[in-house]
Amino acid sequence: MKRLILSLVLIGCGVDESSSDYRRILYRGPICEEVDNGPFLHYVIEFRDMVEKATGVRPTDKLKSISYVTTSQDNLWGTCYTWSTKKGEIMMAKIELDPNLSNKSKVLERTVVLHELGHCIMNDDHVKDANDLMNPTVSMNITEEQANARIEHYMARLARGE
């Protein structure tokens, strides 16, 4: 799901005091990276490392948070929300994960988070190719080999400028 707003949103560092959920603020944007050590931050760094290796350009991000949020949509493991300018530049983004993901395999968690980062950092959409990270469907029993193949497929696309 993507939402569009036309006004500029400023992102600050620090803990979101409006949230009472202790799991809530796990990651803030790149300026704040050194003061964050949320449990999902290593995925963000891994993703940016991989994109840099594939494209030669280290992507910046406007991620505000990656957090567990219970929603009524129980068929979704993760959702990326972006707030963009008219030209489509992401000004702010957040990722919400189904709390049930924490009971599943680390391979599934990694696949879901990296997929959402494809939306929230690279502004990429879904693809039909089932062997690509940006395919919207993922098996709960995905193996490490299958996950790595999906990630490599996506990175190869980025390397080709697609």
H or E element: which one contains 95?
A: strand 90-97
Nearer to Zn ion, 20 or 73 (CB): 73
Number of chain residues interacting with Zn ion (CB under 5 A): 1
CB 80 within 8 A of CB 47: no
Window 27 to 56, contacts with Zn ion (CB under 5 A): none
Distance, CA of 23 to chain centre: 16
CA gap 78, 115 in Å, rounded: 9
Edge-to-edge, what's the strand order for the sheet holding 3-4?
Answer: 3-4, 78-84, 90-97, 63-68
CA gap 3, 82 in Å, rounded: 6
Considering only the stretches 16-24, 83-91, 92-100, 130-138, report the one whose residues sit in contact with Zn ion under the rule CB under 5 A.
130-138
CA gap 19, 30 in Å, rounded: 21
CB of 119 to Zn ion, least distance (A): 5
Nearer to Zn ion, 13 or 126 (CB): 126
Considering only the stretches 19-27, 52-60, 86-94, 131-139, report the one whose residues sit in contact with Zn ion under the rule CB under 5 A.
131-139
CB of 1 to Zn ion, least distance (A): 9
Considering only the stretches 9-17, 40-48, 133-141, 142-150, report the one whose residues sit in contact with Zn ion under the rule CB under 5 A.
133-141
Nearer to Zn ion, 32 or 149 (CB): 149
Considering only the stretches 23-31, 51-59, 129-137, 147-155, report the one whose residues sit in contact with Zn ion under the rule CB under 5 A.
129-137
Nearer to Zn ion, 27 or 77 (CB): 77
CB of 76 to Zn ion, least distance (A): 9
Residues 6+ apart with CB under 8 A from 149: 131
Q: What is the CA radius of gyration of the chain?
A: 15
Residues contributing to the site for Zn ion (CB under 5 A): 136
